[in-house]
Amino acid sequence: MRPRIILLLVIAAFASVSFCFTGHPEAAWPLAQLDDYLLNILLMAGINVILAVSLNMVNGYTGQFSLGHAGFMAVGAYGSAAITQIQGKVLLETFGFLGAAAPVFLFSLAVLAGGILAALAGLAVGLPSLRLKGDYLAIVTLGFGEIIRVMLQNTESLGGARGLTGIPPRTTLGWTWAIAALSVYCVGSLVRSTYGRGFLAVRDDEIAAEAMGIHTTAYKVTAFVVGSFFAGLAGALYAHMICYISPEGFSFMKSVDVVVMVILGGMGSTAGVTLAAIGLTFLNEVLRQMQEYRMVAFSLLLIVLMITRPQGLIGDLARFLPGRRRLKP
């Protein structure tokens, strides 16, 4: 079996098991009580997997360096919170006929809306900026991320700089890991499809790809939109897990965090990136006592890694797993 399928099975199994772990006191299955701290770490790990896998679609497989992932996450977070918090009461009454299922239905609607809004934002950002290359694109995506943040900061109806409080806690382990599995599946099968080879071609040599008749801009925008969509889903899950969002939480630093996961895992390796996202989330918790040293160590690691192993820590190790189809040149 290919590692991607193994990974997918593991995550899917985890997701289906975790549907029983609600973490709420009134859990259906009393044995399945998780302590809150661990629950939060597992939720965060799932959200980070979605973020890293979706950014890998853009940065890893298509070779376009985006530094604005936190911006799309913010669009998803605010978009979904607008449905469940700001318009929550009205909409709950509208869907009152669903009875007890109404909040869950509203939440799923909000998550989907968050994803779609982020995808639209991705389209709006991608269309003009993806004509640029390399470091210019990095700066422009960074700029767009910052513009989104500044706009949120100055929109009073969304809480402005104070942020938005009172978002209902709806994110569960099941939701998070099901979406994580979905993102791994979607990105993995998209890239491995006949159509998807175009992404790799754009990454490997854009001029050659264009000469072979690949519509490079369309591919780049597609990758960007898919990546933004999942970032929006992650943002929606994050908003309904933390219950409080503020523009500061989606700054450039957050984008860099995700970039570090992708680089550590190895650009263009879904398995590596997934492992890196989970690993870094746990490492963050282990090192929480040494907060200041942690960031210094991570940045040093990034520099040393780029000099000695630019393919990432985990990236090409997956190649040694049995039965792996070679995809890289």
Partner 1 sequence: MNEFLQQLINGLSLGAIYALIALGYTMVYGVLRFINFAHGDVFMVGAFSAMYAARWMAPHTAAWPQWLSALCVLGAAMLLCALLGILVERLAYKPLRERPRLTVLITAIGVSQLLEYTAQLVFGAAPRGFPSLITTRSIAGLGGLHLSNIQALVLLVSALLLAGLHFIVMRTRMGLAMRAMSLNPTAAMLMGVNNSVVISFTFGLGSALAAAAAVFYASLYQAIDPFMGVMPGMKAFVAAVLGGIGSLPGAMAGGLILGVLETLVVGYSGLLGISPGYRDAVAFVLLILILLFKPSGLFGKLQREKV
Q: Report the interface residues with partner 1, using CB under 8 A.
A: 65, 128-129, 132, 134-136, 138-140, 142-144, 146-147, 150-151, 153-154, 161, 207, 252, 256, 259, 263, 292-293, 295-296, 298-300, 302-303, 306-307, 310
Closest to partner 1 by CB, 101 or 296 = 296
**Considering beta carbons, is residue 32 or 139 the nearer one to partner 1?**
139
CB atoms within 10 A of CB 127: 14
Between 171 and 255, whose beta carbon lies closer to partner 1? 255
Residue 270's identity, in one-letter code, is: T
- Shortest Cβ 266–partner 1 spacing (Å): 13
Q: Tell the smallest beta-carbon distance from residue 129 to partner 1 (Å).
A: 7
**Both ends of the chain: CA-CA distance in Å?**
21
CA distances from 82 to 105, 125, 157, 158, 240 (A): 15, 22, 10, 8, 11
Min dist. Cβ of residue 116 to partner 1 (A): 23
Amino acid at 54: S
Q: Which is nearer to partner 1, 93 or 135 (CB)?
A: 135
Residue 136 CB, nearest distance to partner 1 (Å)? Answer: 6
Of 81 and 125, CB closest to partner 1: 125
Of 71, 54, 61, 50, nearest in space to 234 by CA: 50
The least distance separating partner 1 from the CB of residue 128, rounded to whole angstroms, comes to 5
CA gap 179, 12 in Å, rounded: 10
Kindly tell me which of 82 and 267 has the beta carbon lying closer to partner 1: 267
Q: Where would I find the H helices in the chain?
A: 3-18, 36-56, 69-81, 88-94, 102-129, 134-153, 173-192, 197-204, 206-211, 216-242, 252-265, 270-286, 291-308
Give me the least distance between CB of 131 and partner 1, in Å please.
8
Provide the minimum distance between the beta carbon of 301 and partner 1 in the complex, in angstroms, as a whole number: 8
In a 3-state reduction of DSSP, which class is residue 34? coil
Q: Which is nearer to partner 1, 128 or 169 (CB)?
A: 128
Sign of the CA dihedral with 110 first, then 79, 238, and 160 last: negative
Provide DSSP, 84-127: IIISHHHHHHHTGGGGGGHHHHHHHHHHHHHHHHHHHHHHHHHH
Backbone dihedral region for residue 204 (phi beyond 0: left; psi -120 to 50: alpha; all else: beta): alpha
* Shortest Å distance, C-beta 69 to partner 1: 13
Q: Which is nearer to partner 1, 5 or 295 (CB)?
A: 295
